[in-house]
Chains A and B, each alone.
Chain A
Amino acid sequence: TQLLEQSPQFLSIQEGENLTVYCNSSSVFSSLQWYRQEPGEGPVLLVTVVTGGEVKKLKRLTFQFGDARKDSSLHITAAQPGDTGLYLCAAWSNTGNQFYFGTGTSLTVIP
C-alpha cells in the first residue's frame, strides 16, 4: 500500500499549458512538502505546507494543502521547458517520526 499516491504518474504537455498534479492519502499529515528532481540530481525542496487549507504561491506554481491535511495539489501556470522534472510530494506522519515520499509525477514540457 502506497501511503502517498500521486497522479498522474506521467504528464507530457506543450509549453504554455497549465497543469495540476495531485498527492493523495488516507492518512493525516502534520505537514507536507513538494520537491522537484531533475535528471542526475537529488530532489530540491519547493515548498512546505503545514495548515489545512493553506495555499502557497511560488511564481507560476501554486500549492494547496487539503482542509483535512490528507491531500495536496500543485498547479503550474503557463508551463515552461525548465519545469520538466520529477515532482515528489513528501510528508511527516502525525507523530513526526516517519517521513514518506509520494510515488512521483514525471513532467515533460515540450517547447
Chain B
Amino acid sequence: ETGVTQTPRHLVMGMTNKKSLKCEQHLGHNAMYWYKQSAKKPLELMFVYSLEERVENNSVPSRFSPECPNSSHLFLHLHTLQPEDSALYLCASSQGTGIGYEQYFGPGTRLTVT
C-alpha cells in the first residue's frame, strides 16, 4: 500500500450508532488531518495532529472524536451523529504543518447518516 488509505470507503449509519473511520499513511509523514467535504460548503478542516498531538480543533462538535495512536494512523470516532453530518470525510498527511508543506489526501469515506 502506498500513499494515504481510508476505510471504509462508504458508511451508512443511524443516528444512535457508534462507528469509526480509519486513515493510514505510508509516507513517513509527521502530521495528519481530518477534513469534512459537504455538497454546499468548502472543504472544512476539522482536526490537525502533529507528532501525534492535536494542534488544531476548529470548533468541531463533540460527537466527532479523533484519535492518533501513532504518526501513521488516525481515527475519527463517531457517535450520535445528525443527518447534516452526512458528507465525504477526507484524511490527509504532510511532512510537517504550516506554510509550504504539501498535503496528500486519501480517497475519503462517504458517510450517510440516516
Contacts and interface: CB of A to CB of B under 8 A. Distances in A.
How big is chain B's contact interface, by range? 10 to 19
How big is chain A's contact interface, by range? 20 to 34
B107 A102 contact: no
Interface in A44-97: 44-45, 48, 50, 88, 90, 92, 96-97
B102 A42 contact: no
Contacts, number: 48
B107 A48 contact: no
Interface string B47-60: 00000000010000
Given A31-B100, A43-B105, A102-B42, 14 more contacts: A4-B42, A40-B107, A41-B108, A42-B92, A42-B108, A45-B102, A45-B104, A48-B100, A50-B100, A88-B42, A96-B98, A97-B98, A100-B42, A103-B42
Interface of A: 2, 4, 30-31, 33, 40-45, 48, 50, 88, 90, 92, 96-97, 99-104
Which 10 residue pairs are nearest across A and B when measured between Cβ atoms? A42-B105, A101-B43, A92-B99, A96-B99, A101-B42, A96-B98, A103-B42, A42-B90, A30-B99, A43-B105
Interface of B: 4, 42-45, 56, 90-92, 98-100, 102-108
